[in-house]
């Protein structure tokens, strides 16, 4: 199953500035596995973007599960960052911090946790909450042990249990019999 | 399409060294229209972005690649040409333009590179070595 977390990276009506760590309360992760792609829409060129998956320890205390540096993000269009490997567990939330620039924001939706400063990573950190916030920050990935997204079996063997097909390691396979994995 | 090394993304994650490659579409690529946008700057007084009147070209994809610390500019150039030949780049461009996540993942997932465990953070040194890498595919 494909994992998704966070909110669509689209052009929104408002923006959110640097100097905070923000965690989107919309759309927690629907499965456990690894995020390999992050999408961002910056309102003004962003620098030093660090993204993370966050878990709720208790109440509004959060810890980062995994983090990865993105770097600069140019403004004005959806930016896609692939080749990532961010651990995520069902129920985790997507958050980030950056050093300058603005992230697209809508004043609606569930809301966010936030704290002044760079708290990527953090452990059992108390965050403040604010309602009606949705950020243009979205992640997708693959469920752990899920095999291929589009192919369930090859020659009767579940894709999650396959190491090679015709001598080729699964990491190097894009299609099987013309079907994208 | 032009693929450029972006030093702002160099980092070590899970003990592996990763670098960032930004893909800039040509005017004939499908993603060009999405990425050729109005240049804006932040106006402190207005507390919003304002257009400068100029245009800018954003990358259609920023891809992280695992590499070894003995990478050279030539090795990276060769690796880019190996992993992203014209037909693959055309397919990636099409998948991104169409919003076809499954097709995109099938193309990009086998192209994340590999490398040995890294001790410490060699990002600054790597950025100096690779700063000028730019490949037209």
Distance CA A133, CA A121 (A): 22
The whole-angstrom separation of Cα B56 and Cα B106 is 30
> What is the arithmetic mean of pLDDT over A134-162?
68
Tokens 């567990």 belong to A89
Task: Give exposure, B72-92, as e/b (b: 16+ Cβ within 10 Å).
Answer: eeeebbebbeebbeeebbebb
Residues B55-95: pLDDT tens digits?
Answer: 999 999 999 999 999 999 999 999 999 999 999 999 999 99
**Beta carbons within 8 Å of B121's beta carbon, 6+ residues apart:** B11, B12
| DSSP state for residue B125 in the 8-state scheme | H
A102 contact residues in B (CB cutoff 8 A): 42, 49
Residue B117: CA count within 13 A, CB half-sphere: 1
Q: Beta-carbon neighbour count of residue B51 at 10 Å?
A: 12
Report CB contact under 8 Å: A83, B49. Answer: no
What is the rounded average pLDDT of the residues A29-49? 98
In angstroms, the CA A115 to CA A129 distance is 9
Whether residue A181 is predicted with pLDDT greater than 70 in this model: the reply is: no
Hey, are the CB atoms on A180 and B103 less than 8 Å from each other?
Answer: yes
d(CA B127, CA B111): 21
Between A154 and A120, the more confident residue is A120
Chain A residue with CA closest to B112: the answer is A83
Contact B62 A37 (CB under 8 A): no
Q: What is the pLDDT of residues A54-112, one digit of tens each?
A: 999 999 999 999 999 999 999 999 999 999 999 999 999 999 999 999 999 999 999 99
Query: Residues of B with CB below 8 A from A82's CB?
Result: 61-64, 104, 108
Here the tokens at position A77 are: 């269009």
Interface contact B62-A78, CB threshold 8 A: no
Give residue for tokens 């309360």: A25
Q: How many CB pairs under 8 A join A and B?
A: 99
Q: Do B62 and A69 touch (CB under 8 A)?
A: no
Strands (E), chain A: 2-7, 14-16, 20-24, 33-58, 61-73, 78-82, 86-88, 93-97, 100-106, 111-116, 125-126, 128-131, 134-135, 137-143, 153-154, 157-158, 164-165, 168-169, 175-176, 179-180
Of B10, B13, B62, the CB nearest to A79: B62
- Contacts of residue B70, Cβ cutoff 8 Å, sequence gap at least 6: none
Q: Would the pLDDT of A164 be above 60? A: no
**What is the bridge-based pairing of β-strands A33-58 and A100-106?**
antiparallel
CA A67 to chain B, closest CA, distance in angstroms equals 8
The answer on pLDDT for A162 being more than 50 is no
Quickly tell me which residue has 């990636």 as its tokens. B92
Q: Which residues is A113 bridged to in the sheet?
A: A23, A129
Q: Chain A contacts of B42, Cβ < 8 Å?
A: 44, 101-102
Amino acid A145: pLDDT: 80
pLDDT value of residue A177: 60
- Whether B35 sits inside 8 A of A77 (CB atoms) is yes
- Let me know the angle formed at the C-alpha of A17 by A126 and B43, rounded to the nearest 5 degrees: 160
CB-based contact A83 B59, cutoff 8 Å: no
Q: What is the ipTM of this complex?
A: 0.97
Q: Which residue has the higher pLDDT, B130 or A151?
A: B130
For the record, the structure tokens of B106 come out as 């099938």
pLDDT at A134 > cutoff 60:
yes
Residues of chain A with Cβ-Cβ distance to B107 below 8 Å are 174
User: CA triplet A12, B27, B127: central angle to 5 degrees?
Assistant: 75
Say what the pLDDT of residue A1 is. 82
pLDDT the model gives residue B44: 87
Model pTM score:
0.90
Instruction: State how far the Cα of A4 lies from the Cα of A90, in Å rounded to an integer.
Output: 10
Residue A152 pLDDT level (bands cut at 50, 70, 90): very low
Q: A76: which DSSP letter?
A: S
Give the tokens for residue B81.
């040409």
């Amino acid at each position: 199953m494909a994992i998704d977390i966070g909110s669509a990276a689209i052009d929104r009506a408002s923006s959110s500035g640097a100097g905070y760590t923000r965690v989107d309360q919309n759309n927690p992760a629907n499965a456990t596995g690894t995020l390999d792609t992050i999408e961002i829409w910056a309102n003004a060129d962003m620098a030093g973007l660090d993204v993370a998956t966050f878990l709720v320890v208790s109440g509004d205390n959060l810890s980062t599960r995994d983090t990865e540096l993105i770097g600069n993000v140019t403004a004005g269009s959806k930016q896609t960052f692939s080749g990532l490997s961010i651990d995520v567990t069902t129920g985790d939330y997507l958050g980030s911090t950056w050093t300058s620039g603005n992230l697209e924001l809508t004043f609606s939706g569930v809301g966010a946790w936030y704290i002044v400063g760079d708290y990527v990573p953090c452990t059992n950190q108390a965050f403040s909450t604010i309602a009606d916030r949705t950020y243009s920050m979205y992640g997708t990935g693959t469920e752990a042990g899920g095999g291929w997204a589009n192919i369930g079996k090859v020659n009767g063997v579940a894709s999650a249990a396959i190491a090679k097909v015709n001598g080729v390691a699964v990491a190097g396979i894009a299609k099987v019999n013309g079907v994208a994995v | 399409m032009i693929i450029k090394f972006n030093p702002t993304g160099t980092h070590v994650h899970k003990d592996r060294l990763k670098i960032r490659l930004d893909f800039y579409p040509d005017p004939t690529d499908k993603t060009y229209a999405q990425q050729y946008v109005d240049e804006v700057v932040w106006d402190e007084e207005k507390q919003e972005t304002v257009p400068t009147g100029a245009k800018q070209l954003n990358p259609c994809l920023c891809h992280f690649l695992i590499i070894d610390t003995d990478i050279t500019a030539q090795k990276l150039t060769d690796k880019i040409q190996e992993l992203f030949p014209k037909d693959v780049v055309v397919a990636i461009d099409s998948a991104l333009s169409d919003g076809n996540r499954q097709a995109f993942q099938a193309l990009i997932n086998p192209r994340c590179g590999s490398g040995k465990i890294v001790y410490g953070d060699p990002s600054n040194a790597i950025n100096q070595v690779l700063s000028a890498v730019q490949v037209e595919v």
